[in-house]
Amino acid sequence: MLKPRVLILRAPGANCDAETQFAFEQAGALAERVHINRLRENPGLLHQYQVLVIPGGFTYGDDVAAGKILANQLSVFLGEQLRIFRDKEKLILGICNGFQAILKAGLIMPPDEDGPLATLAHNAHGRFEDRWITLEAAPGKCPFLAGYDRFDVPIAHGEGNFICREAWILKGLEQAGQIVLRYVESEARSAEGGARSAESGAPDSCAPRSALCAPPSTTLPFPINPNGSQGDVAGVCDATGRVLGLMPHPERHVLPTHHPQWTRRGLAEEGQGLRLFRNAVAYFL
Amino acid sequence: MIWEIEILPRLRDPERERVLTEYGLLAGPQRRDRDLAEFALTARGFLVEGIFPLESAQRLLDALLLDPLAEWGRVGELNALQSFEHPSGVTALAFATVLLKPGVMDPVAESVELAARDLGIDLFSVRTFRRYYAAQPMPAPVRDLLFRKILANEAIEQAIEGPLLLDHLTLGSEYTFQLVTVPIRNLDDDALLTLSRSGQLSLNRAEMRAIQEHYRKMDRDPTDVELETLAQTWSEHCSHKTLKGHIEFNGRLIRNLLKETIFGATQEIRSRLGPNDWCVSVFEDNAGVVRFDDNYHVCFKVETHNHPSAIEPYGGANTGLGGVIRDPLGTGLGAKPICNTDVFCFAPPDTPSDALPPGVLHPRKVMTGVVSGVRDYGNRMGIPTINGAVCFDPRYIGNPLVYCGTVGLIPVQRAQKAAQPGDLIVAVGGRTGRDGIHGATFSSIELSHESESVSGGAVQIGNAITEKKLLDVIVQARDRGLYSAITDCGAGGFSSAIGEMGEKVGAEVHLERAPLKYQGLSYTEIWISEAQERMILAVPPRKWDMLRLLCQSEDVEATALGTFEPTGKLRLFYKDKQVAEIDMEFLHEGRPQVVRKATWRAEANPLPHGLGSDNVVRADQFSAVLHAILSSPNVCSKEWIIRQYDHEVQGGSVVKPLVGAANDGPSDAAVVLPVLGSWRGIAVGCGINPHYGDLDPYHMAALAIDEAVRNVVAVGADPKRIALLDNFCWGNTERPEVLGSLVRAAEACRDVALAYMMPFISGKDSLNNEFRTPGRTIAIPPTLLISALGIVPDVRRCVTMDLKEAGNAFFLVGETKNELGGSHYELVTGQAGGDVPNVNTALAPRLFAKLHEAIERGLVRSCHDLSEGGLATALAEMAFAGNIGVDVTSLGVGPSDVVLLFSESPTRFVLEVRPDHIEELSNLFDGLPCRRLGQTVKEARLRIAGANGEWLIWTPLAELKESWQKTLRW
């Protein structure tokens, strides 16, 4: 059987490309890291691959807004080719900065006449945060997540706060089965006595003129929901299920030694993120 | 035409929060709430210059700059956007606009220029700004404080009230060449020194005389750029002339302190190891290189960036990390950076504002800025920051210390380099501007209260993405063999990089070829500019096309500046006119030997501390002491910092900086896999404790080494494969007693390295860390950072410090002595005296070896070293990290309970051991100090019984953890 070919897109400031390649190789794919300039020169190159991955990082420094300049390039230079790619039953995966880029490029949900439906804004507590969290999957038709329920992966981002323009948009995404990953309480935590009260929210320095400080809208408290995302959303797929964007890093949980508790619980067979990459490979076999 | 684009936050307003926080630090929370009640919001914005209509600026906003779900945006002519109608009904008026000073690196503006081109909008130039809005005009005193201290940092920014008076944004003006010579042949000593000072050359009398003599012989005067090159190369920063110079120490002559201590120890260790020598390249390249496995070496370098960080904490720390990342990248033929470390020393963050000397930033502002600077560079580069420490002492008030380290991975066949005659001198990466001119000489002189205003030219902002692009192409070019040598442009810029690389050959450089950020730089400015993110390659002419195309393919600029000509001379040209010709030999060997005096006198040891003393702590206060130690700033949780760093990027994380049941306990060291697919790892740890140095710098150094080693051994590093780095930050070593304390510390480094058989592989010193105010000089305490890099044979054997299960035994390994001098027990109880802990160099290596064997055999369930706060603190940390209780029922006998609980005797560990491993572990440590203390319990408490059976400490873990976490929960 031919190994599926994976294109991991490099752009200035992308920096999770090597470990994403490793994860796909562990999963049995033939993964290559390709600079965006090669695709700009020859957009048709894309069609030699079955999976397109926009990896994590800080493309163009996240200047302007996270992933925004790359999103703009994806739309301006590759928009048409990306649509063809998706419509050919191929897979697109955006991790962290890649999620920010494909969301802002309209690849997950195209904008309507009033503009974009959703965005990834600054974390509610205002800082970059590296932290392990627990996800609950509702795989539906998203092939990447087949067989997943709860699993642990780390986040590492400053702008992962998923916000929809209107409440009906979030509801619509839920009903369409596009909210495929949510932050949930870990089993260890719930055993410890449940969610503690939220520590974050608006800081006390917001005291004067608090009318101008909008309170973050969130369901579960920090740090279960680490960034304040509406509906605890961690990952979203497009209407076909074949385009997935997620803030957490599954490629950082492919080895058993990645898990922060491995010295307590013992070594697992493999990391819980590996299945996501194996699913992508299996989709083409 | 200049358009203004402004973006205002609909959600949180972090810049407004920053202003409120800093105002509160300087004026107190009550005045803040009163004075800033009308401070409404802040905006960020862009000035864009180009020949295009308002609609294009609007398109730039809509398509690129604005996130309409999180922000409001608007566009107007220059100065048209001075009031803002907030949807809440408030009309806010702009009271200040802050711009970067012209020429300061503005990465966001560069990105916008690029992205605008993607949209087909042809811009000339972009500048970013911040704007501050209030519902009412600010009263004069409030406005004054905001403008002087808070809104802008004068070193890099300007705050403007009212309209911006600008007619263009593009920088620079035509430069007219004029060769400058500096007549020095007839100057007397005073005039030579005046010249050195006024030209910021930082050369002393003997050095100026040597230069004068040299040019008299050549029968001409030096050009300005020749003098600058000599000053740069001979600076303390570049040549380390004090530590390599002659030192008269208590009547004995030391010819080269480093050679006789630290290098010397390494040489001795290498020869003793013989065929097992694992050093590859030590103290010669930009980083020290040791073997990792059959295919790769690892290298490690730690640098300081203290003075820039004092003036502009964000930029100083940002470029500090950016600079040290280029060290491994410039080692051998280029190592890929795989992890970073950072260690900071600050004044206490709760320092009252009226205790700040003039010209000094508040330590909390310094700390916040430094952490952000490291965060933004490391995270953007995709290099995990995995280890660090923070020390607090009031003497760092004017002189914070910022240590940044980087470990790199290099294929074994790429570890050596040599520029060949005929190779092209190629500059790659960022462009050259007036950035940081005089950085090298500036970091060798003391800071003063005037530094904030006069030294600004030496402070910079980095652009991590430029460096990331550089890294990406260098690794590819290395693997394709496209160059024969590489080095980074650090302090001294091209001058240092090309001067060093061409030392054995000779070099000819055409300065006008260097790509510039803007016009108008003189040939001298081009040569000594310290613009960031630049490297120099020696490229064989036949490889040049391939290298050029590779760089071009990823939008990295590469320019051939000249050739390494086998002339033995450094020759510089500007548009074919020669502007410098210096003998490489004079440049590198002509500096007169520095001779310094050093003295050390052991202070009479104060009364032994502990029993019998008047203010001895009563047994019922031990819990309170433990809580005080846990919440002291040195010991407390640094989670606020650690989580802002990506410590897992590159996918090799094995032991994280935070560990335990809730992922928030203090790991001893971090472990990463440099090569995915192999289980061989590296452990990185550090040791630093300036408090011991006040008692005896010899023991401070020995203890710092022991601590760094303990940390990496505790997680599973092989004690036979541990390499060390030294970073000395000292006061003014022209004072004999200050230099004497440094000599003491260096001697300890030699003695302990030899006893442990652990080589030093690289190091750096930063001297003259003193702050002058009109009234007094504040010198930092002598501060030695030791970093340790250990090889972990199989990371699946690694151990973490959190207790794992109830029902296990735990043991104390090592000797506990009455050594409370410099301890945290004394610090929090306000006492002094006693003996500083001494390292037992005969016993320690045996303990490390046995502990490693126990870990390898799988006998150790958890392991934590004992450091600040001694046994009680270590047990508390292990217990709350694992959420497992502790019952100590056999504390043992010692001089006093205080000593048993809080002494900081080195080379000690607590081990948690399963019942079925107790016998094997006891046998393993037979004949060595290893005592069973008690057992782990499921009740979440820490209980420690004294010799007579009474409970000395009985505290719930949640309270201990809260004490440990609350201090820096920002």
Q: Are B860 and B854 in contact (CB under 8 A)?
A: yes
Is residue B363 a contact partner of residue B349, using CB atoms and an 8 Å limit? Answer: yes
Q: Which of A96, A142, A164, A237 is catalytic?
A: A96
- Grouping H, G, I as helix, E, B as strand and the rest as coil, residue A244 is strand
Average pLDDT, chain B: 93
Print the SS3 string covering B607-666: CCCCCCCCCCCCHHHHHHHHHHHHHCCCCCCCHHHHCCCCCCCCCCEEECCEECCCCCEE
Cα of B653 to nearest chain A Cα, Å = 6
pLDDT by 10-residue block (mean), chain B, 970 residues: 95 95 95 95 96 95 96 95 88 94 89 94 94 94 95 90 86 87 96 92 93 96 96 88 92 93 97 97 95 98 94 94 97 98 97 91 96 97 98 96 98 96 97 76 50 52 95 98 95 92 96 93 93 96 98 98 97 97 95 92 59 58 96 97 98 98 97 98 97 94 98 98 98 94 97 98 94 90 98 98 98 96 93 91 98 98 98 98 96 89 97 98 97 97 91 96 96
Q: Distance of CA B787 to CAs B31, B729, B795, Å?
A: 44, 14, 20
Could you tell me the CA-to-CA distances from A181 to A20, A261, B39, B245 in Å, in that order?
A: 19, 22, 40, 63
Give the alpha-carbon dihedral of B142, B145, B146, B148, to 10 degrees. 150
Q: Which residue of A has its CA nearest to B656?
A: A260
B468 touching chain A per CB within 8 A: yes
Question: Does the active-site annotation cover B305?
Answer: yes
Instruction: Give me the helix-helix angle, B736-756 and B262-273, nearest 10°.
Output: 10
Strands B447-448 and B507-510: unpaired
- What percentage of residues in chain A have a pLDDT greater than 90? 87
Is residue A251 annotated as a catalytic residue, yes or no? yes
The DSSP string of A64-94 is: SSTTHHHHHHHHHHHHHHHHHHHHTT-EEEE
Residues of A in contact with B463 (CB under 8 A): 61
For the record, the structure tokens of B410 come out as 């290099």
At which residue do the structure tokens 């195209």 appear?
Answer: A110
Average pLDDT over residues A59-72: 96
Q: Count Cβ–Cβ pairs < 8 Å, chain A vs chain B.
A: 212
Q: Cα angle vertex A225, ends A147, A276, to 5°?
A: 25
B968 touches A at CB < 8 Å: no
Q: Within 10 Å of residue B628's Cβ, how many Cβ atoms?
A: 18
CA dist B605 and B642 (Å) reads: 39
Amino acid at B155: A
| Position A215 confidence tier, pLDDT thresholds 50, 70, 90 | very low
Chain B residue closest to A33 (CA)? B472
A250 to chain B, closest Cα gap in Å: 10
Task: Identify any residues that bridge with A136 across adjacent strands, giving them in sequence order.
Answer: A150, A182
What pLDDT score does B735 carry? 93
Identify the active-site residue in A157, A251, A253, A259.
A251
Look at residue A205 in the predicted model and tell me its pLDDT. 38
Per DSSP, the residues of A207-221 read -TTGGGSPPPP-SSP
Burial class (CB in 10 A: 0-12, 13-18, 19+), B190: exposed
| Residue B792, strand partner residues | B681
Q: Are strands A91-95 and A243-246 parallel, antiparallel or unpaired?
A: parallel
Given a contact cutoff of 8 angstroms between Cβ atoms, the answer to whether B465 and A61 are in contact is yes
Maximum CA extent, chain A: 65
Q: In terms of CA atoms, which chain B residue is nearest residue A266?
A: B796
Q: How many CA atoms lie within 13 Å of B590's alpha carbon, on the beta-carbon side?
A: 20
Mean pLDDT confidence for A39-66: 96
Which residue in B305, B307, B609, B627 is the catalytic one?
B305
Give the per-residue pLDDT at B604.
Answer: 58
- What chain A residue is nearest to B134 in terms of C-alpha separation? A209
Residues of B in contact with A57 (CB under 8 A): 382
DSSP states of B857-926: TT--SEEEE--TTHHHHHHHHHHHHHT-EEEE------S-HHHHHH---SS-EEEEE-GGGHHHHHHHTT
Of B271, B237, B213, B302, which Cα lies nearest the Cα of B444?
A: B237
Tell me the pLDDT tens digit for each residue of B376-393.
999 999 999 999 999 999
Alpha-carbon distances, residue B669 vs B341, B590, B715 (angstroms): 11, 44, 7
Nearest chain B alpha carbon to A201: B12
User: For residues B936 and B808, is the Cβ–Cβ distance under 8 A?
Assistant: yes
pLDDT digits (tens, 9 = 90+) for A242-283: 999 999 999 999 999 999 999 999 999 999 999 999 999 999
Q: Please report the pLDDT score of residue B606 as a whole number.
A: 56
> Averaged over A183-197, what is the pLDDT?
65
HEC states along B472-532?
Answer: HHHHHHHHCCCCCEEEECCCCHHHHHHHHHCCCCCEEEEHHHCCECCECCCHHHHHHCCCC
Q: Return the H-helix or E-strand segment holding B727.
A: strand B722-729
Q: For residue A141, give how far its alpha carbon lies from the nearest alpha carbon of chain B (Å).
A: 28
- How far apart are the C-alpha atoms of B242 and B728, rounded to whole Å? 12
Query: What pLDDT was estimated at residue A197?
Result: 41
Distances (CA, A) of B321 to B372, B475, B490, B533: 11, 19, 12, 11
DSSP code of A115? B
CB B488 within 8 A of CB B556: no
* Residue B895: per-residue pLDDT: 85
Q: Can B237 be counted among the known catalytic residues?
A: yes
* Residues of chain B with C-beta less than 8 angstroms from the C-beta of A31: none
Contacts of B429 in chain A (CB under 8 A): none
Global confidence as pTM: 0.95
Q: Which residues of chain A make contact with B12, given a CB cutoff of 8 A?
A: 122, 124, 126, 202, 206, 213-214, 216
Q: Which of A115, A258, A260 lies closest to B663 in CB terms?
A: A260
Check whether A203 has a pLDDT greater than 50.
Answer: no
Angstrom distance (rounded) from CA B539 to CA A55: 33
Look at A209 and B135 and tell me if their CB atoms are within 8 Å: yes
Which residues, including other chains, have CB under 8 Å from residue B544's CB and lie 6 or more apart?
A: B424, B426, B560
* Largest pairwise CA distance in chain B: 87
The whole-number pLDDT of residue B103 equals 81
Give the DSSP per-residue string, B43-101: EEEEEEESS--HHHHHHHIIIII--TTTEEEEEEETT---EEE-TTS-EEEEEEEEEEP
Asked if A61 and B464 come within 8 Å (Cβ–Cβ), the reply is: yes
Rg of chain A's alpha carbons, rounded to an integer?
A: 18
CB B74 within 8 A of CB B6: yes
DSSP string, B923-963: HHTTTS-EEEEEEEESSSEEEEE-TTS-EEEEEEHHHHHHH
Give the span between the Cα atoms of B141 and B764, in whole angstroms. Answer: 45
Residue bearing tokens 């979440």: B940
